[in-house]
A = this chain, B = another copy of it.
């Protein structure tokens, strides 16, 4: 093979890059075969009339890019590659492994469930009237139009300017101390008294739930959950081989009599509860209910995992303090997050718990994520200290209080006489609509009629452990503006009346 490389001293490109570029092209194009021995750098340099170090740099570049093999002081060879049967065709079309069968029953259950959800979403989307924005009550997330993204960017910039390399190295698995300190102070507002050492920063509340399961609920153990409950906690438990024991939700919260029986029959590893703006029903339990729940768990010696995912989105009426604030024996594992009030994509939450529990959980985190993003955590701590978080929260309360009022007003105007009943949440983003009337159509039928009117809502059935009857659905006002909320609910009323005729 004749090695033809040409360099041009007058082009703007450095000589070594020209040489490397030409060689790459020839290797890619097959002009230089695999295993080909490149000329010694001295020889090629003489041939091209360039410095030896120029050729050396070109070879370095080829090496770094994976084109050649070399041993210092020896020749360089074009790398041998065993390429797939049909190079350039992407992945093989047929896998030797049956991935569907290879994945665990739980994992493929999640995937099947997800695909069914997507398929349902596609079907409903197809029914939407053309040329108009749908009114989408499905995303449970704060409205990104109000994200204080600029302030956060500046904080992130500041911390990276000040201590970039430290923040980009492996960090404290328990989380950046400055953020733990802020959270500890913040929790005092909710009656929770913990120090920074009693807090573990997690990658969002979901990661927190996972750590609790992995630490305290080994495969085969039982975890008590409300039914319905947060569907991703339920799916995750299944994935980890945990047995789920459902307790019915009453309008006052988890059925405590039922729980009492379960605690003595099943000796569960954990009880998981969402006391504020319960997902999906929107129920907030009373102080008394919380006290009783805690007492039952304390008496049974079973840890209580309290999911306070929207603790700071109380913007209405009498506010009730978290169960953790009443926790004298250290039985409550409290989960918090910034995802539902600030940036969902930031993935920062926390667990506040007894120091012994935090130690165990941190050990588990060392074998899970190793550590979180220290840069994000430090930036968030600065963001909070500068008052941006408080200011944002005030704004969110104003916006969502007003939206929720609009929603409740519209429900009274358009659905009062119908078969649907609804919760009156004290904060958060969700409303739960339920029909006690057995003649009222099944969920999917109703969802279709709503979609035809340009309205999307979440079906309620997904949130139950096991099957569930009736028509129930969840409305989230997270990303819907006031006027659209009113219009959307007006159309829901219209759909109900059409069905009843």
Docked-complex contact B401 and A110, CB < 8 angstroms: no
Asked if B91 and A195 make an inter-chain contact with CB atoms under 8 angstroms apart, the answer reads: yes
By beta carbon, the residue of chain B nearest A65 is: B189
Task: Report the stretch among A142-150, A433-441, A490-498 that lies at the interface.
Answer: A142-150
**Considering the chains assembled together, what is the distance between the CA atoms of A97 and B299 in angstroms?**
10
- A232 lies within 8 A of chain B by Cβ: yes
A165 partner residues in chain B, CB cutoff 8 A:
144-145, 147, 149
Instruction: A477 to B48: give the CA distance in the assembly, Å.
Output: 38
Chain B residues in 8 Å Cβ range of A84: 193, 325, 327-328
Q: In the bound complex, do residue B346 and residue A168 qualify as a contact, i.e. CB atoms below 8 Å apart?
A: yes
A96 at the interface (CB under 8 A from B): yes
**Interface segment, A127-135, A275-283, A311-319, A444-452?**
A311-319
Judge whether A239 and B364 touch: CB under 8 Å.
yes
Q: Does A33 contact B (CB under 8 A)?
A: no
Q: Establish whether residues B354 and A64, one from each chain, have CB atoms under 8 Å apart when the complex forms.
A: no
Whether A66 sits at the interface, judged by CB under 8 Å, is yes
Q: Return the chain B residue nearest A405 by Cβ.
A: B72
Please tell me if A215 contacts chain B, counting CB pairs below 8 Å: yes
Task: Indicate whether A111 reaches chain B with its CB closer than 8 angstroms.
Answer: yes
Q: Count chain B CB atoms within 10 A of each CB in A100, A219, A363 and give the residue with the most.
A: A363
| Cα(A232)–Cα(B147), bound, Å | 37
In the complex, the chain B residue whose C-beta lies closest to that of A242 is B219
A216 lies within 8 A of B325 (CB): no
> How far, in Å, is A495 (CB) from chain B's closest CB?
28
* Nearest-Cβ distance from residue A338 to partner chain B, whole angstroms: 11
Could you say which of A245-253, A373-381, A456-464 contacts chain B?
A373-381
B376 touches A373 (CB 8 A): yes
25 residue pairs bridging A and B, Cβ less than 8 Å apart: A65-B189, A72-B316, A82-B325, A82-B326, A83-B325, A84-B328, A91-B194, A91-B354, A97-B330, A99-B357, A102-B303, A102-B357, A105-B218, A107-B360, A110-B364, A110-B367, A111-B359, A111-B364, A144-B168, A149-B164, A153-B157, A153-B164, A169-B345, A210-B368, A236-B367
